[in-house]
């Protein structure tokens, strides 16, 4: 069930006559990572052209907009909403005029020491347009005088603590940077003679590009008229990497390859491990659509209990919806999900979901399933309990709002009114991924890989 606010998607391309159109398509494929605003900056004869707007990619850009965004290179960004205030000021790619010329930055992640950096920079005379953490990078960059741009950029990035996968377009080069922990994904591909970067490989699939490799944690990769260059500006051991394990649980599209594993396959394995760990006697396995489907397939296959689509999702649900005035039981959930009694009546049902956030939605879903006639309802979550908020680029609820941060599993079971409730263990999750280290699972174990600068 969709309950998490998503993060961001970035895309960039170098050396293509359709740079802005392919960036549009890349953002389109990455729409699931951010639906509130979108923007593209193209590079045309050494100057930048840009267009940003609120809403879905398909709504923000018209044919005319894309025609105006001429040039052989472009960088684009999808973003989730911040508060209503300042929406467009914070929209990305962020752009600025520096002494070396125009710079455009698309950022996926969150810089945890941004507050400190802002205070320091303001004292030094910097003025901030928005409330965005990304703006710090531009100010740091502007302060490196008398050195080569790439040297200044490298020095600037070293000041940043936190999660960042950057695509940066200047007047003469395109740069991709991943933070030393590698929190967020960033991949490189090729299409003809063009180089492309994206948050996920599904963007490459749409435009027919070939996946080449990940940008490594701590790597700075750039392309200019002299070719392709790579620098490891920060080295960490694999065990110090902190790739976001939640990308597998919820964020990434199932058809992407993230951190070198197929998201769909990992999710199916999560279902299999969930079945191994939390087996129950039941008649059918049903997913909470759509995010619970791959894990359900794995659970059904492992447990031998047949898979059914016991809940049908309404795909015509729009962004706005007029509510009835009268109380219709669990109306908000019903608009999206319809449990069908033809499938559920009289059955012992295993319900597979990806996570429980506040517990209220899960309670409503359980209620609707029971109302549809299910005899027993066994809720199975294909991930461990989420106990900690994310400070690395995901707009999670506060710790206090996360039900698992202050309730035990039996308490949650009572709250959501399921007949039984089990979560996948953290070990099970690592088994499903097939690696045992190099991930951030702070949302499950409260082990934050970086200092938090008072954020919590």
Binding to a copy of itself, residues 157-196 (CB under 8 A): none
**Region from 61-69, 159-167, 376-384, 445-453 binding a copy of itself, contact rule CB under 8 A:** 61-69
**Residue from the set 334, 348, 358, 375 that interacts with a copy of itself by CB under 8 A:** 334
> Coil, helix or strand for 73?
strand
| Shortest reach from residue 250's CB to a copy of itself, in Å | 15
337 and 310 in contact (C-beta within 8 Å)?
A: no
Active site residue 390: no
d(CA 227, CA 130): 34
> Which residues ranging from 405 to 424 are in contact with a copy of itself (CB under 8 A)?
none
| List 5, 15, 126, 277, residue binding a copy of itself (CB under 8 A) | 126
The verdict on 308 binding a copy of itself (CB under 8 A) reads yes
Q: Could you count the other beta carbons within 10 Å of the beta carbon of residue 239? A: 9
> For tokens 């280290």, what's the residue?
437
How many other C-beta atoms can be found within 10 angstroms of the C-beta atom of residue 451? Answer: 11
171-179, 262-270, 353-361, 390-398 -> range binding a copy of itself (CB under 8 A): 262-270
Q: Please pick, among 8, 136, 167, 440, the residue that the annotation labels catalytic.
A: 8
The correct pick among 46, 148, 151, 208 for binding a copy of itself (CB under 8 A) is 208
Considering only 4, 11, 14, 28, the residue that binds a copy of itself (CB under 8 A) is 28
Instruction: Give, as ranges, the residues between 240 and 259 that touch a copy of itself (CB under 8 A).
Output: 253-255, 257
DSSP state, 238?
A: G
Helix (H, G, I), strand (E, B) or coil at 377: strand
- Nearest Cα neighbor of 213 from 271, 254, 275, 260 is 260
* Tokens (6 digits) for 4: 């998490």
Minimum Å gap between C-beta 326 and a copy of itself is 6
Site string for a copy of itself, 85-124 (x = CB under 8 A): xx-xx-----xxxxx---x--------------xx--xxx
Closer Cβ to a copy of itself, 143 or 276, answer by number: 143
The residues in 340-379 that bind a copy of itself, with binding defined as CB under 8 A, are: 340, 342-343
Residue 98 or 387: which CB sits closer to a copy of itself? 98
Q: Confirm if 163 and 183 have CB atoms less than 8 A apart.
A: yes
Q: Which of residues 3-22 bind a copy of itself (CB under 8 A)?
A: 18, 21-22
Rounded distance between C-alpha atoms, residue 379 and residue 356, angstroms: 10
Angle between helices 149-157 and 135-142 (to 10 degrees): 130
Is 77 among the residues that bind a copy of itself (CB under 8 A)? Answer: no
Distances (CA, A) of 109 to 37, 106, 417: 16, 10, 36
CA distance 43 to 225: 14
Q: Establish if 403 lies at the interface with a copy of itself (CB under 8 A).
A: no
| 155 contacts a copy of itself (rule: CB under 8 A) | no
Q: Per CB under 8 A, does 260 bind a copy of itself?
A: no
Q: Is 445 in the site for a copy of itself (CB under 8 A)?
A: no
Residues 430 and 105: their CA atoms lie apart, in Å, by 33
Q: Does residue 325 belong to the site contacting a copy of itself (CB under 8 A)? A: yes
- Whole-number Å distance between alpha carbons of 130 and 94: 10
The residues annotated as belonging to the active site are: 8
């Amino acid at each position: 069930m969709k309950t998490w606010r998503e993060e961001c998607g970035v895309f960039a391309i170098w050396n293509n006559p359709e740079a802005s159109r392919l960036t549009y398509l890349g953002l389109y494929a990455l729409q699931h990572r951010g639906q509130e605003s979108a923007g593209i900056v193209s590079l045309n004869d050494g100057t930048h052209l840009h267009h940003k707007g609120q809403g879905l990619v398909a709504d923000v850009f018209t044919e005319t907009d894309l025609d105006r965004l001429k040039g052989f290179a472009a960088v684009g960004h999808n973003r989730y909403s911040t508060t209503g205030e300042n929406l467009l000021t914070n929209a990305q790619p962020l752009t600025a005029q520096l002494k070396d010329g125009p710079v455009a930055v698309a950022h996926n992640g969150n810089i945890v020491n941004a507050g400190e950096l802002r205070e320091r920079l303001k004292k030094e005379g910097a003025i901030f347009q928005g409330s965005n953490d990304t703006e710090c990078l531009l100010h740091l960059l502007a302060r490196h005088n008398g050195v080569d741009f790439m040297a200044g950029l490298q020095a600037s990035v070293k000041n940043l603590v936190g999660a960042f996968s950057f695509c940066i377009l200047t007047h003469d080069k395109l740069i991709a940077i991943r933070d030393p922990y590698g929190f967020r994904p960033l991949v490189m591909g090729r299409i003809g003679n063009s180089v492309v970067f994206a948050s996920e490989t599904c963007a490459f699939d749409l435009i027919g590009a070939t996946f080449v490799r990940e940008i490594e944690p701590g790597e700075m990769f750039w392309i200019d008229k002299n070719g392709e260059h790579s620098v490891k500006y920060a080295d960490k051991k694999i065990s110090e990497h902190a790739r976001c394990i939640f990308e597998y649980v919820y964020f990434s599209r199932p058809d992407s390859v993230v951190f070198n594993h197929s998201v769909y396959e990992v999710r199916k394995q999560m279902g299999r491990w969930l079945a191994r760990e939390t087996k129950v006697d039941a008649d059918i396995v049903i997913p909470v659509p759509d995010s619970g489907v791959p894990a359900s397939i794995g659970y059904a296959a492992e447990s031998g209990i047949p898979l059914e689509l016991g809940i049908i999702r309404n795909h015509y649900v729009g962004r706005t919806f007029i509510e009835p005035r009268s109380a219709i039981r669990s109306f908000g959930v019903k608009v999206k999900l319809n449990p069908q009694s033809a499938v559920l009546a009289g059955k012992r049902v295993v319900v597979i979901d990806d996570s429980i956030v506040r517990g209220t939605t899960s309670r409503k879903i359980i209620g609707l399933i029971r109302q549809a006639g299910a005899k027993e309802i066994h809720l199975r979550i294909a991930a461990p309990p989420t106990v900690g908020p994310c400070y690395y680029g995901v707009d999670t609820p506060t710790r206090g709002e996360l039900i698992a941060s202050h309730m035990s599993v039996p308490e949650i079971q009572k709250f959501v009114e399921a007949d039984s409730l089990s979560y996948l263990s953290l070990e099970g999750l690592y088994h499903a991924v097939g690696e045992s280290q190099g991930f951030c699972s702070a949302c499950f174990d409260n082990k934050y890989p970086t200092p938090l600068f008072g954020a919590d």
